[in-house]
A and B are shown apart, each in its own frame.
Chain A
Amino acid sequence: MGVGEGGIIVLAIMAVASAIFLSMLIWLMQPEKKD
């Protein structure tokens, strides 16, 4: 691996984790259907 890709990898991993956590929150707060 050459120079320069390191930062992109870190940011990519953080972005993926953030996306997963955000979707977890969305799933948690999903409005319930009124019967």
Chain B
Amino acid sequence: MPRWGMVIDLDKCTACQACTVACQAENNVPFAGPDETALDRSKHWHDVMTELGEEGRYPDFHVRFIPRPCMHCEEPPCVKVCPVGATYVDDDGIVRMNYQRCIGCRYCTTACPYTIRYFNWYAPEYPAGYDVYLNPNVPVRPVGVVEKCSFCIHRLEQAKREATAQGRELTDADLVLLPACNQACPASARYFGDLDDQESTVSRLSHSPRAFRLLEDLGTEPKVYYLAEEKA
């Protein structure tokens, strides 16, 4: 069974946010608008975090930008707490959402230490005329349920179907730029693939001495690896 994971090279990343925008478009993530955003309710399945260093004063301080999808943890705290199994880990290691079953208790959103989960406080809204741009391969979520990054599972399933139809396995080339965020990155800083496939890009890079994961000491076993910047 594949173990899907992601590697993001922080040395190549320019924090242009193309990944965030691509994800928003690909996954029909609703627009919050200025009022709801002011109330801390905007939704970004993918986001870019700004990490200010401890030392230094302008202009000598250090800023680090960290693109942040769902970590698709192997020991997900969110799955543990869901009372109805609306979030679960599938056979390929992707932490999935069942939007029909979710009762909106928000236990998972609270339990996630990366705060990567979002809740639909109102019914989703899109600007006028936007409905023609909605991706038909991704469901539009109703009010009152939780949603989050899915590692573009719909693209993954389509790629699997195409490969099977062509009578072959998925290759590294099929997978590296599979999710919308990876595909949009102009700096080629992002990679996706099977962490258990020793030939794959993600597997090789995840063993790099520059590789680290976020909040590793919590034991969540996240599957998104970052390659630290090399000091100039």
Contacts and interface: CB of A to CB of B under 8 A. Distances in A.
Nearest to A7: B84
B33 interface: no
Interface string A2-34: 010010000000000000000000000000000
**B83, B84, B88 — which one has the most chain A CB atoms within 10 A of its CB?**
B84
Contacts of A6: 83
- The bracket for how many chain A residues form the interface is under 10
Secondary structure dominating the interface of B: loop
Contacts of B84: 3
Contacts of B2: none
B155 to A, nearest CB: 27
Contacts of B83: 6
A31 B117 CA distance: 61
Nearest to B83: A6
Interface string B85-116: 10010000000000000000000000000000
Nearest to A6: B83
A6 B83 CA distance: 9
Interface in B17-57: none
Contacts of B85: 3
A23 B19 CA distance: 65
A3 B98 CA distance: 13
Interface string B70-89: 00000000000001110010
B12 to A, nearest CB: 42
A29 to B, nearest CB: 39
A6 B85 CA distance: 11
**B83, B85, B88 — which one has the most chain A CB atoms within 10 A of its CB?**
B85
Contacts of A3: 84-85, 88
A3 B85 CA distance: 7
4 contacts: A3-B84, A3-B85, A3-B88, A6-B83
Interface of A: 3, 6
